[in-house]
Structure 1
Amino acid sequence: MPVPADRFDEIRRKWIARNQRTFIFQKRRSEILARQIRDRDTAATGARVDPADDDVIHPWYARPIKTSYAMFDAIILMSAAVLAPLGWPVGKAMSVRVVQLIPGELRSYPIAAFMWAAVVVGLPLPLLYEPGDSLVSAAVAPWLVAQIPAALLTAGIYGILEGWLAVDGARDWWPMRPAEEVDDIDFGFLQPDDLTGPGVFPTRRDAPPGDPSPIWRF
């Protein structure tokens, strides 16, 4: 199984671990990043890690709701599924696609860009929509239209949950990777050549003529 590329995994894992609070799905993200880091170190050094370290919390749909923490996670996930059943998967797909561009084309995840895009797209929608008399036009249609800004908002939220706030550039509009520095090479023909030829008359004697004013006089 190929090891995923390093996309600031250690920085993101540390940020998630320190800000996970009681969210079990955040603890799972931290454990997945830690496993990727160990797999990468094993491939580079050949060292064998403890198999117990590879145990990761099960995904949310495979976890029983036995604690208040698990119930709180379930409420969040069910609310997101009801409010944005289309925007959630679309936003997740957008998030995965953007992460593939890091660090090749982007130096970080554009959280600010997704958040502000959701605001810009979502605010004019109530002004542009006129509800009708039927239930479909009054409730269902606005709910469907709201999936567009919900997808952008979901992509931005995934950037926060994945720990990209710890990486420089996440608050920029579109954090492009800076161009690589290239050393200047002097090929010898970039500057004009000195085409001045030798002089016709000598400009300096081969031997000095002597002191014109000797110190001792007879």
Structure 2
Amino acid sequence: MADPSDKFDEVRRAWVARHQGWSLIQRRRAEQLGRRVRARQRSTVAALPDPHDDTSLPPLILRAAKSPTSQVELVVVAILAVCIPLGWLAGVAIKSVLVNLIPQTLRAFPIAALLWSGVALGAPILALYDPAPTFGQMVVVPWLCVQLAAAPVVAGVYGIAEGWLAIPGSDQWWPLTPAEPALSPEDAAEILGPYEITGPPVVEPRPLPDHGERMPRW
């Protein structure tokens, strides 16, 4: 029986590690997925993975002082936190809900649906935006609308960052898990084989002894 806590972690870890580039955030994400895979292996197999493989980078805020790459990533994260704080939190919540539906309800993460939903919500904002003289109508109202459009986009970006593109179906609109087909009598007969109605013999059959050719008596 498949472990319900396994969300294709090994496949996603390999994808994230292969596409991490210079990003230390992605490197840490791949290491965290690897630690989860090895922790699951320790509970099921006798050959334990090397515990030295469980080392991972510290969080972003702790490594930004010495790493130029982390400093760039910290600036990007800070800008996003200021611009779309509510959308970010809502996107993380949406992502968590969808991941919990895998694989029972969804067979993959619906990245396409989330990104296109963000486009559908953001396009009317750009088309209907008419700056008004008051500060609230000019800044606050558009800012709140952007939070709404950013929520599905953030969830979709998290899906890409966490390696869900490696799972078939993540580029589809709503990849539902197919229902298990009903087992028909014909399928059961093919699996189990024909039903034998002949009972076992009382005495096990034995081959007749071979006495050779009989010689005629003169």
Letter in 2 for 1:127: A
Paired residues of 2:64 and 2:74 also in contact (CA < 8 A): no
- Cα distance, 1:144 vs structure 2: 1.5
Paired residues of 2:110 and 2:175 also in contact (CA < 8 A): yes
Paired residues of 2:25 and 2:60 also in contact (CA < 8 A): yes
CA RMSD of aligned residues (A): 1.6
Letter in 2 for 1:34: G
Structure 2 counterpart SS, 1:175: coil
1:43-68: CA deviation from partner (whole Å, max 9, x where unpaired) = 11133333322222122223233222
Paired residue for 1:68? 68
Structure 2 counterpart SS, 1:146: helix
| Distance in 2 (alpha carbons) for counterparts of 1:41 and 1:176 | 28
Paired residues, number: 184
Paired residue for 2:171? 171
1:82-112: CA deviation from partner (whole Å, max 9, x where unpaired) = 2211101110111011000001100000000
Paired residue for 1:38? 38
Paired residue for 1:20? 20
Moved more, 50-59 or 69-78: 50-59
Paired residues of 2:26 and 2:161 also in contact (CA < 8 A): yes
- Cα distance, 1:176 vs structure 2: 0.1
Structure 2 counterpart SS, 1:32: helix
Q: Could you say which structure has the larger radius of gyration?
A: 1
Q: Flag structure 2 segments of 5+ consecutive residues without an equivalent.
A: 187-218
Superposition pairs of residues 26-175 of structure 1, within 5 angstroms: 26-175=26-175
| Distance in 2 (alpha carbons) for counterparts of 1:145 and 1:106 | 29
- Cα distance, 1:143 vs structure 2: 1.0
Paired residues of 1:131 and 1:137 also in contact (CA < 8 A): yes
Q: What is the TM-score with the length of structure 1 in the denominator?
A: 0.79
| Distance in 1 (alpha carbons) for counterparts of 2:41 and 2:181 | 29
- Cα distance, 1:4 vs structure 2: 7.3
Which has the larger share of helix? Answer: 2
- Give percent identity, aligned residues only: 41
Paired residues of 1:4 and 1:36 also in contact (CA < 8 A): no
| Distance in 1 (alpha carbons) for counterparts of 2:127 and 2:152 | 19
Paired residue for 1:199? none
| Distance in 2 (alpha carbons) for counterparts of 1:157 and 1:113 | 12
Runs of 4+ in 1 over 4 A off after TM superposition: none
Structure 2 counterpart SS, 1:123: helix
Q: Flag structure 1 segments of 5+ consecutive residues without an equivalent.
A: 187-218
Paired residues of 2:42 and 2:49 also in contact (CA < 8 A): yes
| Distance in 2 (alpha carbons) for counterparts of 1:73 and 1:63 | 11
Paired residues of 2:41 and 2:49 also in contact (CA < 8 A): no
Paired residue for 1:206? none
1:8-30: CA deviation from partner (whole Å, max 9, x where unpaired) = 11111111000000111101110
Q: What is the TM-score with the length of structure 2 in the denominator?
A: 0.79
| Distance in 2 (alpha carbons) for counterparts of 1:137 and 1:10 | 48
Paired residues of 1:106 and 1:177 also in contact (CA < 8 A): yes
